[in-house]
Structure formats: C-alpha cells, structure tokens
Chains A and B, each alone.
Chain A
Amino acid sequence: MSTIELRGVTKHFGAFTAVRDLSLSVSAGEVVCLLGPSGCGKTTTLRVVAGLERASAGDVLIAGKRMNDWRPDQRNIAMVFQFYALYPALTVRENIMFPLHVERLEPQTAAGRVAKVARLLQLESVLDRLPSHISEGEKQRVAVARAVVRDPNCFLFDEPLSRLDVELRQTMRSEIKTVLRGLSKATVIVTHDQLEALTMADRIAIMRDGVIEQIASAHEVFAKPATVFVASFIGIPQMNLLHAQFEGVENGHGRFRIDGQPTRLPVDPAVAKLAKGQVTIGIRPRALVLDGAASADAIAGRAELIEPMGAETLVHARTPLGSDIRVVVPREIRVNAGDTLRLRTEARETHVFDHSGRAVRT
C-alpha cells in the first residue's frame, strides 16, 4: 500500500530547528502539498521522507514500514527535484532508464517501459539527446518521466514547476495532475506557489518555522484559515488584516473599534464567547463591497491607489488612522484616487483571530 506517515518528526541542524514535531499522513492516491515561505522547513521535510536527511526525532513510515534507518536507495521512492537533477552525461533515454536497474529487467521490457512513459510525456523526439540540449519544459518532463517509470512506494516533488514560465507552468500543472491520477500513489509536493498548491493538491499543509499551521482541503484553507499566518498566506490579493478593539456582540454583529472608529461587522457565533480586548480582523478584498449609504456597520477610508487587474480593479484605501485596506471591485465601478469609500462586508466573510493569532470559529 502506497502511504506516507510522519509521526512527531523533528530535524535539527546544529542549534537550528528546521522541522518541529511534525505529523502528517498521506494515504494512497492522495496528493498533499507542503506550502510555505522560503526556509519554513518544507523541503527539509521532503528530504527526511526521501532519506536524504535523517530525522533527529520521530518516525518516518513509508508503505507502513518504519524507514528512519533505511538509505534512500532502499526506500523505493521517486522524487522530482527543483533543478530536475538530470544525469548530465546520460542521454534522455538513459536518464529515464536509470532507475530501472534496480528491478533487473530484461532489456526489451525496460525499453518498453521507457517508450511508454516517453509517449505519455511527449518525449519521443528527444530520447537520444543530452539534457543540456533540450528545453526547460522538456527537462521538466524528463524528470517526471524518470520518476514515473518505476513503480515506487510514493512520489515526492520539490518545487517541480518553479523553473518554468507561466504558460508552461499551467500546462505542466495539469499534465502532472493527469499522470498522478492514473497512478494512485501517496504524493507529496513542496511548493511556495499557492496557486500550484490550490490546483494540484487534495490537501494543503501550510508550514511556518518548521510547524504545520493548518492542513486541510484547498477550499477549507481558503474559507476557514486556522491562523493569521494562513489567512495572510493564502489568497490573492492578500487578506486585509486589521488590528481592532473587540467590544462585544449584539444581534450576530460584533462591535469593534478599528483605528478608533466604531464599526459593526457580521461575525461567527463563537466570537460571542471571546473576552473583550485586542483582536485581528481578517476580511478578503473580494468580500468587501462599496456601500453608498452611510451606515454604522461600515469602515470608512480614502482611496489612494487604483490598480486595474482586467476583469476587476484593486483599490488600496487608507483609514483615517493609516491602516491599508485592499478592496477588489468589479471593473464597471469607477473609483478615483481621493474618493471617500464606505466599505461593508457580507455575513460569514469576516474572520476574527484572537490575541494568539488563532481563528475564533464554531
């Protein structure tokens, strides 16, 4: 059974802790993305699974067996590296065939397997070239071909698309997704590109400073971020995070002071149990609407910078005390710099985070 399980994995490099007490389980056929900023420990986690780094503590289970003490070549896994790591002195064909030596196949069988993946990834025309003589996109496909030519316990991808241009990235994203769907293996993809994670993963693990902040489906991490960090990391443009004074709840609306300005915002029922004090309010730029009437449950601001994005327009507004608020409005609505805006939010679209940065939610 193709599964990966990490139990309380910790990795120290000298005094530095790269991964802290991390637990994660990936079932057969599931794709999990490790998403986070540079240096958050996601690549280290992947290398611990691969056996290229030893876990300082915790258990690494692959296909149900504890493999902490196994060398990479004994673990039977396939990995695609960020810089592809193709064997420079071997042709594309030899590159793809290289992992097959483990299985000691008949030459014809091996050639057949290579031909099959070469067809799958459209590499037939470059099989006899050296890696230095093919394009970036082709190198990427060779790296994937070399991984899928075997029948490994699991697949690991380290920033697989980071070196491709935007257009190629989209194509390869769906191509890799198609290939993976046909294999039903446990797969871990490391990326810092949230779009990549949102589109390819069944579940996303958002990491910061060696800790998984939240692990959930693409829908859930977007709609119900567990912490301020997740909220700020997922979503383009970034979620507005405003420091506010919480003053209580009445009729499902929370009373807050944002920059001293009293505001009423629709909130989750759980917020009622929260003690009065400092909180962080998160509102997605697309959840805010411009309100014509001067109602009490709105935030006031002055439009400062207008960025047309095509179908929509991004407006940067500033509250009287200087907080920056991003609002996305439909293209038809004309906003000019200097306009005074009143921003209202729809019910269920306001996230309240307590003083420790955790979401307050039922």
Chain B
Amino acid sequence: MTDTVATPVGPSAPARPFRQFVDRVRLRRSSTGVSDAGWGRTLVAAIVSIIYFFPVFWIILTSFKTYEDALAVPAKFFFTPTLENFVHVFNRAYSAGGPVQNTGFALYFFNSLFISGVSVLLALAIGTVAAFGFSRYPLRGNDTYLFIILTTRMLPAIVVIIPIFIMFRVTGLAGTYAGIIALYTMFNLPFAIWMMKSFFDELALDVEDAARIDGSSDVRVFFKICLPQVLAGLAATTVFGLILTWNEFLFALLLSGVETRTVPVAMSQTIGGDIGVRWGLLAAIETLFLIPVIIVTFALQNQLLRGVTFGTIKR
C-alpha cells in the first residue's frame, strides 16, 4: 500500500522538542504581539542595570565611610557606617585642628533648587504655550522658526560662553538669580517647545473642534481639553529639563556669584584642601545632590510611564 504519511523516525525525532519550542514562541508572538520576556532575559537586563547603577551605588556607599575606609585598598564593602560626612557637608574645619565653620552648602542647595525649579517651570510654561501656537496656529515659515529655535542648541556651550559672559557683564546680570534663571530658561526652551509640539501634534483635532462647537474659546480649549491630554509630555519635559539644569556646571561656574553659587560649582571647589581629596565628603554631597532629582522623577513616574500615546483616541 502507498501509505506515505510520515511518522517521525530516526534523526528527525530528537529535533522535535526544539521545534515545539520554536512553534510555541512563534504562536505566543503572533497571537498578541506582546509576550512575557521570561526569566533569562530579565536576568540579563538585571545584570546590565546593576553594571550601570554601580557607580551611583558606590558613591552612596562611600558617603557613609570614614576617611580611612574610603581610601582602603582593597575597597571595603563591609564597614561601620558613619554620618560624619553629611555633617561635614554643612559644617566643618577647613584645616586640621582649625575652627569649625559653616560651609555655605545650605545656601548652595537652596540656590540649585530655586534656580533649577524656577527656570524649568518658566521654560515649561513658555514652551508649552509656544508649542501649542506652533502646532495649531502655524506661522508663515513655521518650520524655519522651529529650526532657528533649535540652532541655539547646536553649538557647544564652550563656544558661546564668552559672548554670553560679556553680555552678562554689560547688563549687570552676572552673579544675579535673574541672570542665571534667564539663561537656563533659554537653554530649556528649545527642548520644551520641540517636545511639547510633538505631543500636541499627536492629539486628535476632532476633539478640539468638538469643544469649540460646544461653546469653548481657544483659551478654554487649550486649558480644559489639550493640556490634560499632554500630562505625560509635561512630566517628561520637566524631568529632562530639571536634570539638565540641575547638573549644569560651566555656565554656573562663570556666571554665578558667591551668593548665587550652585551645588556643582561648590562641589568642584570642595575638591582639594590641605589633607587631599576627601572622597567621603564629596560622596556625601553627591548623595544629597541626587535626592531632589530622584524625588521629582519618582513623583512624575506615573505620568512618564503612561507614555506618549496616553489620552489620544485610538483610530
């Protein structure tokens, strides 16, 4: 008889479990498009994350070490933690046996918070309104304007520092809060405008038409209908702008005065001194420096994770 239905025999038999596995993976993929990555990949991701996080972890660890522990070779993972570095951030003696003095770091932390916070909020407010304008009421040559806005970010900071320094000198803005806040706002604006414009561009225009027909003015459409739909964009812009401003060093070094000095500048001035680099002290400053950014990012995490498409109507 010509019974040609193949029953797997010989070499094809051991291949079957693998085939089944491949089929199962394919099926899982094709059925939903999203599937559990599994333990193996999660583990790889975890290892990569740990490698990236390690420097931060090491800084936090060092901030709790004594001067001797911080310099110990081989490096110590287990030690008796101390808070003395954190105390020294704010009050310490500048030379061995000298008088304990206020380091001014309380002011520098306030400066960093105040300058970053105000400039990010300003950039967000101006940038969002501008982005809405660019998106909904395009100018003649709209793209040219957008391009020009972006060109301000195309040069490395070091190139423009001298003209800006002279401008600040002439106008008397050097060393003032207003000056450094204005500068950071200008730095954050292009990013805020481009970012928010892309969010506004994604929104369904029908919804705004509907609101107009329902008796809303353009201002009401913006505040009641559009803004609530771009919360994710506002959150992302805030976090990126904040990180950029918070860590900015070069302009702060040259344009801030004693009274308006920010933490990155003050930190650089802490390096050195008559007993060598105090790594524990620096680590303590850095650890404190991380906290505000982490808090803001954590607070906005929910909005960030909702992603770009949140709020738009699926078509």
Interface residue ranges, A against B (CB under 8 Å): 50-52, 71-73, 75-79, 81-90, 98-99, 101-102, 131-132, 146, 150
Contacts and interface: CB of A to CB of B under 8 A. Distances in A.
A73 B216 contact: yes
Given A78-B213, A85-B207, A89-B228, 8 more contacts: A72-B209, A78-B214, A85-B209, A88-B311, A88-B312, A102-B214, A132-B313, A150-B214
A72 B213 contact: yes
5 contacts: A71-B212, A78-B213, A86-B313, A87-B207, A88-B313
A85 B228 contact: no
A319 to B, nearest CB: 45
A131 to B, nearest CB: 7
A89 B210 contact: no
Given A73-B217, A131-B313, A85 B212 contact: no
Nearest to B203: A88
B305 to A, nearest CB: 16
Contacts of A88: 207, 228-229, 311-313
Interface string B85-114: 000000000000000000000000000000
Given A89-B228, A89-B311, A83 B214 contact: no
Interface residues of B, number: 21
B211 interface: yes
A85 B311 contact: no
A81 B210 CA distance: 8
A82 B210 CA distance: 11
A77 B313 contact: no
Interface string B206-241: 110111111111000000110011000000000000
A51 B213 CA distance: 8
Contacts of A89: 225, 228-229, 311
B140 interface: no
B230 to A, nearest CB: 9
Given A81-B206, A131-B313, A87 B213 contact: no
Contacts of B206: 81-83, 85
Nearest to A90: B228
Contacts of B212: 51-52, 71-73
A130 to B, nearest CB: 9
Nearest to B216: A73
Given A72-B209, A88-B207, A89-B229, A83 B313 contact: yes
B213 A102 contact: no
A262 B200 CA distance: 66
Nearest to B227: A89
Contacts of A78: 213-214
B209 A87 contact: no
B315 interface: yes
B303 to A, nearest CB: 12
A99 B313 contact: no
B161 interface: no
Given A85-B204, A88-B229, A146 B214 contact: yes
Contact of A101 (B215, B228, B313): B215
A71 B216 CA distance: 10
5 residue pairs, one from A and one from B, having the closest CB atoms: A89-B228, A102-B215, A85-B206, A99-B214, A85-B210
Nearest to A99: B214
B207 A50 contact: no
Interface string B10-24: 000000000000000
Contacts of B210: 79, 81, 85-87, 146
Nearest to B226: A89
Nearest to B231: A89
Nearest to A73: B215
A347 B165 CA distance: 95
B62 to A, nearest CB: 45
B207 A76 contact: no
Interface string B276-315: 0000000000000000000000000000000000011111
Contacts of A81: 206, 209-210
Interface in B186-217: 204, 206-207, 209-217
Contact of B209 (A52, A98, A131): A52
Contacts of B314: 132
Interface in B51-74: none
Nearest to A102: B215
Residue of B225, B229, B313 with highest tally of chain A CB at under 10 A: B313
Nearest to B311: A88
A245 B193 CA distance: 68
A76 to B, nearest CB: 7
Contact of A50 (B213, B216, B225, B315): B213
B217 to A, nearest CB: 6
A87 B209 CA distance: 11
Contacts of B214: 73, 78, 98-99, 102, 146, 150
A290 B210 CA distance: 54
A46 B161 CA distance: 56
Contacts of A72: 209, 212-213
A144 to B, nearest CB: 13
